[in-house]
Amino acid sequence: MNGRAKSSDQMWAGLALLVVANFFFAVGFSFAHYAGGRISPWHLLFCRSLIYLFFLIPWAVAHPRQARGVNRGGLVLRGVLGTTMLSCMIFALSVVPLSTGAALGKTTPLWAIFVLWALFSIPPTAVELTAVLVAVGGILLVLHPQGHQHLGNVPLIGIVLALAAGFFNSLEFVTLRRIRQTDGANTINLWYAGVMLLVTLPLALTQPWPQKQSFLLIAIMFGISTLVGQTLLAQSLRSVTATAASVATLLMPVFATVIGWMVFRQKLSALELLGLALVIGAGTAVIFMENRRPRLSGLPAFRWQRAREGEGQD
């Protein structure tokens, strides 16, 4: 009983970290939305990588063995997936409203169900499918034709990029969950920053820098906010599943919509508020059911690994 209670406490602590992490992600993306059209997305990502390295290099010097990492292939892959996801999201937020981009960009649970089935042969449960459908219904209410964020007013490229961000985010969660078993949060973020710097440096150098220094301050605030979010996310993934983490990301568009209402004066109708309530309720239901669901020992094997094991037994 004590072991089960301890595991439950760790899971709820991890979920609390996820909530706070998604709040900081929403704050960071609000800075990215405000900077849209005023500063290049590549400059935002370049500044973000420098901020990460500014805070993490002193730690790396003090802990060189941990900084080198264990699962280096996974660390690089996570860096590539994370950079791709953020690039799609920032470009989307430069052409669509904050709450729209956040809602479409965090369709991660839909993609996560497909990814888990495709990679690990893990079928979704009825609760997961129902909760995701309810959450999608809530997002559609936020985007209903009579509301402020009608999809017909959003450029198609913004919709495509935001949905692509959700897909890459689901792959990122699966990768994070696996490398979190071997590497710490600081190691993960250090490698993430290194990969992002290598990708964005040549692209940032080809773009003209903004004339106003205030927009560089916005880039710095974007980097700090997302650094806090990424650190809390990496910490949480040691005690929660990738599915629970991806469902919890649905809180990010909720926070973003509230920020859009308070800061950018975007209007909210009663149906949009109902949609936000459905998103929160659906995420809570999945997390509650995952706490009651038996845990798999260790990490699940990939689909192709299972196939090889089956051939070996034959």
Lowest mean pLDDT among 33-47, 70-84, 103-117, 299-313: 299-313
**pLDDT digits 0-9 by tens, 217-247:** 888 899 899 889 888 877 886 777 766 776 7
pLDDT at 85: 93
Q: What is the DSSP string of 71-90?
A: -HHHHHHHHHHHHHHHHHHH
Residue-averaged pLDDT of the chain: 80
pLDDT at 79 over 90: yes
Average pLDDT, stretch 43-60?
93
pLDDT of residue 152: 58
As a whole number of angstroms, the distance between CA 4 and CA 196 comes to 39
Calpha distance 55→62 (Å, rounded): 12
Residue 194 has a pLDDT of 96
Residue 73 has pLDDT above 80, yes or no: yes
- Cα-Cα end-to-end distance for the chain: 40
Mean of pLDDT values over 289-306: 57
In 3D, which of 300, 290, 311 has the Cα closest to residue 119?
A: 300
> With 50 as the cut, is the pLDDT of residue 28 above it?
yes
272's CB contacts (< 8 A; 6+ apart) are 141, 142, 144, 147, 148, 149, 257
Mean pLDDT of 249-266: 80
Spatial contact of 53 and 193, defined as CB atoms under 8 Å apart: yes
The sign of the dihedral angle between the CA atoms of 43, 164, 174, 27 is positive
Interval 126-154: pLDDT, tens: 877 888 888 788 877 766 655 555 555 66
More confident residue, 245 or 200: 200
Residue 193 and residue 52 in contact, taking contact as beta carbons nearer than 8 Å: yes
